[in-house]
């Protein structure tokens, strides 16, 4: 698994659409949402995408990763800018963009103190995890791009 910066969207043909509108896909296998979205809504979209395409364990892992990424964007990233998800080539791709240049880190800390495990968990459950810095220099931000194998 890598933790590299990346230069482009991992979703094929995924130009940003209007706020809250699914990007058109040949089989409805992509969603891109700009604007306000909470973890619950993102999990619902991923559940819809994975219906019949993934087993229960894969679905549960995917929903946990989605929750962590959305929650971390809200908690540490200045809020969610955009969420995208897609199914392609036996993988679920997730993109979560926020408003902060601060990179996530896996910090060792006291196991008796709650929290701080999110990025490590995301990396462990994902087949690939990358960080794409925002190219617009006027506004800070980054996009976390992860993929999970559909098994």
Residue-wise pLDDT tens digits, 116-150: 678 889 999 999 999 998 887 788 999 999 999 99
Residue-wise pLDDT tens digits, 71-93: 999 988 999 999 999 998 899 99
Structure tokens at 96: 């979560």
In DSSP terms, which residues pair with 33 in a beta bridge? 83
Q: 47-53 long-range CB contacts below 8 Å, 24 or more apart?
A: 49/85, 49/86, 49/87, 49/92, 50/87, 50/92, 50/150, 53/87, 53/150
Residue-wise pLDDT tens digits, 11-45: 433 333 323 334 434 345 778 877 668 889 999 99
pTM score: 0.78
């Amino acid at each position: 698994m890598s933790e590299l910066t990346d230069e482009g969207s991992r979703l094929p043909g995924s130009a940003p659409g209007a706020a809250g509108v699914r990007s058109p896909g040949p089989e409805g296998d992509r969603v891109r949402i700009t604007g306000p979205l909470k973890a619950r809504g993102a999990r619902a979209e991923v559940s819809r995408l994975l219906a019949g395409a993934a087993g229960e364990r894969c679905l549960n892992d995917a929903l946990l990763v989605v929750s962590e990424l959305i929650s971390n964007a809200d908690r540490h990233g200045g809020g969610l800018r955009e969420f995208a998800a897609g199914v392609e080539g036996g993988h679920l791709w997730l993109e979560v963009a926020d408003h902060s240049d601060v990179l996530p880190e896996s910090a060792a800390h006291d196991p008796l103190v709650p929290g701080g495990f999110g990025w490590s968990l995301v990396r462990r459950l994902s087949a690939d995890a990358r960080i794409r810095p925002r190219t617009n220099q006027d506004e800070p931000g980054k996009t976390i791009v992860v993929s999970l194998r559909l098994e």
